[in-house]
Structure 1
Amino acid sequence: MNLLVEGINKGIVKSTEMSKKITIDGHTETYKVYKVKLDYLFFNDQNDRIATWISQYKADNNIDKIDIKDKEEYNEIIHNFIVKSNPEAIKKTKANIELVEQREPGVILTDGRVIDGNRRFTCLRELSKKDPRFNYFETIILNEDLDNHAKQIKMLELMIQHGEESKVDYNPIDRLVGVYNDIIEKKLLTASEYAYSTNITENEVNKQIELANLLVEFLEIINAPKQFYIARDMNLDGPLRELQGILKKIKDEDKRDEIKNVAFVNFLMQPHGDMTRFIRKIKTVVSSNFLNDYLEEQLDIAEKVLDRLPEEGKMTNEVIKKEFRSDEETKEILKNSLDKAEMKAKSTESRNKPLQFLGKIEDLLEAIDTNIFMKLKDEEKNEILGKINQIEVLLNQIREDANV
């Protein structure tokens, strides 16, 4: 059904006096706002906010796509995902709509797909069960279809949900899944188009692409390809960013792969409660002479852990908790291995600190342009000489201590 034609003719869609400006493909236009009966709308399963929940449902039910033939059943499935993705936000939005009704129009396509306003649609669905005045969704209706205008519609969704006036509270892993789906896998958008749509720099988008690729690599390593909900439940955004920073320091490709494998096994086992801080410790080891010893020790443990992985498609959160997170002995070995390497690296770093500091001081002193002294007043010269005398006292003290 085309809601702009049949919907209006059948009374499913009602006109309002409201309008709203939106920008599509670089063109800003004013669109009329309608009231549409909830029964003729359906959620957008391409919404990045629920990307990991969609992946979990597909994995649990061994399907490639959620069937939309039974619209009510389909809506119930997605409805639950949106509630679970942020229960507090749903509670707040629902209370606000109940108090002052819907204030911000959504955006839908002529077939009823909700492009913007999935959370408002969710709240209205719940409120309408008790009060018929919430049976309608106020929205713009775009005369487009997803098949022929997928790129423009996706860019519109991103612009609305990531614009300066409407920053969304995505789970960071859901955001990375959106980047993976739209830029890497489907190639729906380029990095430049994604940056334009989300009001961030292309450089930042490229960083997110790197993170998304790391996320996909991790899931493949643990035999859980594209089971993104696992990474969401592990809260891997922080650890992935720390790993990304570490890998930028490594030029050798083989060494990079070894560090990734070590980090991925630590992600899986979680030997420390705060994995972001734990992975950060590896930075100290990477820049020391103890990296090879650390990797050799860790890779030996990693090989044994990876040998225990279930076959592809059998990995679940329950398996992770039961078979890996409960293995206190291996977790302690992983933790002690990193602690030991970090301690050695910091010890060497501390011994080298005085020489590093003195080198920096020497560079700074050499950078002073002494020709400028001729232009200084006597008062300014005296201040400089006083500072030189203080430095000489400190240097003499260091010289004495070094001769002990």
Structure 2
Amino acid sequence: MNLLTQGSKINAVLLTENTKKLSIDNHSKVYSVYKIKLDLLRYNDQNDRIATWISQFKSENPNEKLEAKEKDEYNSIIQDFIINSNPDAIKKTQNNIELIGQQEAGVVLSDGRIIDGNRRFTCLRNIQEKTGKTQYFEAVVLNHDIKNNEKQIKLLELMIQHGIDKPVDYNPIDRLVGIYNDIVDKGLLTIKEYSDSVNQSESDIQREVEKAKLMVEYLDFINAPKQFHLARTMNLNDPLKELTTILKQCKDINRKEDLKNVVFANFLMQPHGDMTRYIRKIKKIASNDKFLDDYLAEQLETTEKVCDILEEHDIVTDKIINNKIRTDDVLREAFAHSTEKWVSKADGDATRNRPAQQAEKAFEILDTIDTNIFKKLSDEQKDDVRNKLDKIQEILDSIRGDLDVY
């Protein structure tokens, strides 16, 4: 059903006096807002907010196609994803709508697919079921369809959900999945297009792309290809960030591959409750050339045993991980003991390595500079940057001179 033609004829889509301004294809326009009966609408299963939940459904129901289900069943399934992804936010939004009504209009396509407002739609569905009173979802209706306007719709969705001063309030792994799907897998958007839409620098998005690729590599490593929900339940966003930094600093290709496999095996076995802190310990060892090779040799022996277990399972699921893999306390302890031993050695060497660590920290800070912003600076601001870089160069020359003396 086309909401703007057929929906209006049966009084299920009603024009309001409200409007909403949207920017599509860099063209801003004020659109009319309509009140739409809930049974004419359907969730957007391509929304990044529920990306890992969709992957979990596909993993657990390999013979079912979510998009092929009847609208009521389809909506009920995705409603559960929306609620489970952030139950506190649902409760807060629903209480607000019950008190003062829907305050911000959503955006839907003419076929009823919701592009912005899945959470508000969920709350209205809950209220309708709770009270028995017909509810209406207020939204702009765009005369587009997802098949022929996929890129345009994705850019609009990103712009709305990641607009200026609007926080991203869903799991970072879901966002990583969206970045991987849109930029790497489908090639729907370029890094520049994505960064422009979410008001972030290209370098920031590039780092997220690298992290997303590592996430996919990890899932392949554990025989769970594209089961993105596993990365969510393992809370891998921050550990992946740490691993990205470790690999970036490692210049030797063979070492880098060994490091990656060792960390992947540690991700899987989870020898420590706080894996972010644990990976930082590995990061400390990795920055010390004196100990890294011996540490890797020791860790790779345990990693090979993990790989032997993985070979017993064609597809690894969360049940296999929790009930058959992580139950091996001997392997988990071997990883933990080895890491603690070598990080202690690295700490003992810390005083002598302090200058190198400080240099590393300086490198990390300088590496975060987004050079794209230079084109937006005034001549005075550019001169200020040049002067500071000159001072940095003077310090570097002095340090190199002292190194040669001693």
TM-score by length of 1: 0.86
- The change in CA–CA distance for 1:190 and 1:312 in structure 2 (over 3 A counts) is farther
Matched, 1:349 2:350: yes
Aligned to 1:238: 238
For residue 21 of structure 1, report the CA deviation from its aligned partner.
0.4
Aligned to 2:111: 111
- The change in CA–CA distance for 1:260 and 1:356 in structure 2 (over 3 A counts) is closer
Aligned to 1:169: 169
Task: Tell me how far apart the structure 2 counterparts of residues 355 and 302 of structure 1 sit (CA, whole Å).
Answer: 30
Show CA shifts across 1:156-210 (max 9, x none).
0000000124323120100000001111111111111000111101111100000
Supply the AA of the counterpart residue of 1:343.
S
Aligned to 1:25: 25
Corresponding residue SS for 1:129: helix
- The change in CA–CA distance for 1:271 and 1:30 in structure 2 (over 3 A counts) is same
1:243-282 to structure 2, matched below 5 A, reads: 243-282=243-282
- The change in CA–CA distance for 1:313 and 1:124 in structure 2 (over 3 A counts) is farther
Supply the AA of the counterpart residue of 2:4.
L
TM-score by length of 2: 0.86
For residue 350 of structure 1, report the CA deviation from its aligned partner.
2.4
- The change in CA–CA distance for 1:354 and 1:132 in structure 2 (over 3 A counts) is closer
Task: Tell me how far apart the structure 2 counterparts of residues 184 and 107 of structure 1 sit (CA, whole Å).
Answer: 26
Supply the AA of the counterpart residue of 1:291.
L
Aligned to 2:94: 94
Aligned to 2:122: 122
Matched, 1:306 2:328: no
Aligned to 1:295: 296
How much is the aligned-residue C-alpha RMSD, in angstroms?
Answer: 2.1
Matched, 1:315 2:316: yes
More deviation, 23-32/307-316: 307-316
Aligned to 2:82: 82
- The change in CA–CA distance for 1:322 and 1:91 in structure 2 (over 3 A counts) is same
Task: Tell me how far apart the structure 2 counterparts of residues 223 and 355 of structure 1 sit (CA, whole Å).
Answer: 38
- The change in CA–CA distance for 1:356 and 1:297 in structure 2 (over 3 A counts) is closer
Corresponding residue SS for 1:290: helix
Aligned to 1:192: 192
Supply the AA of the counterpart residue of 2:102.
Q
Gapped runs of 5+ residues in structure 2?
359-393, 399-406
Aligned to 2:330: 329
- Residues 224 and 312 in structure 1, CA contact (< 8 A), matched pair in contact too: no
Show CA shifts across 1:90-135 (max 9, x none).
0000100001011100000000000000000001001011335552
For residue 255 of structure 1, report the CA deviation from its aligned partner.
1.1
Show CA shifts across 1:138-169 (max 9, x none).
00000111111110100000000001243231
Task: Tell me how far apart the structure 1 counterparts of residues 261 and 293 of structure 2 sit (CA, whole Å).
Answer: 14
Task: Tell me how far apart the structure 1 counterparts of residues 226 and 51 of structure 2 sit (CA, whole Å).
Answer: 11
For residue 353 of structure 1, report the CA deviation from its aligned partner.
4.8
Corresponding residue SS for 1:345: helix
- The change in CA–CA distance for 1:353 and 1:185 in structure 2 (over 3 A counts) is closer
- The change in CA–CA distance for 1:65 and 1:20 in structure 2 (over 3 A counts) is same
Gapped runs of 5+ residues in structure 1?
358-362, 368-404
Structure possessing the higher radius of gyration over alpha carbons: 1
Corresponding residue SS for 1:42: coil
Supply the AA of the counterpart residue of 1:105.
A
Supply the AA of the counterpart residue of 2:339.
L
Task: Tell me how far apart the structure 2 counterparts of residues 87 and 42 of structure 1 sit (CA, whole Å).
Answer: 20
- Residues 223 and 311 in structure 1, CA contact (< 8 A), matched pair in contact too: no
- The change in CA–CA distance for 1:351 and 1:334 in structure 2 (over 3 A counts) is same
- Residues 180 and 212 in structure 1, CA contact (< 8 A), matched pair in contact too: yes
- Residues 93 and 123 in structure 1, CA contact (< 8 A), matched pair in contact too: yes
Supply the AA of the counterpart residue of 2:298.
E
Q: State how many pairs are aligned.
A: 363
Task: Tell me how far apart the structure 2 counterparts of residues 195 and 124 of structure 1 sit (CA, whole Å).
Answer: 32
- The change in CA–CA distance for 1:70 and 1:311 in structure 2 (over 3 A counts) is farther
Aligned to 1:402: none
- Residues 23 and 29 in structure 1, CA contact (< 8 A), matched pair in contact too: yes
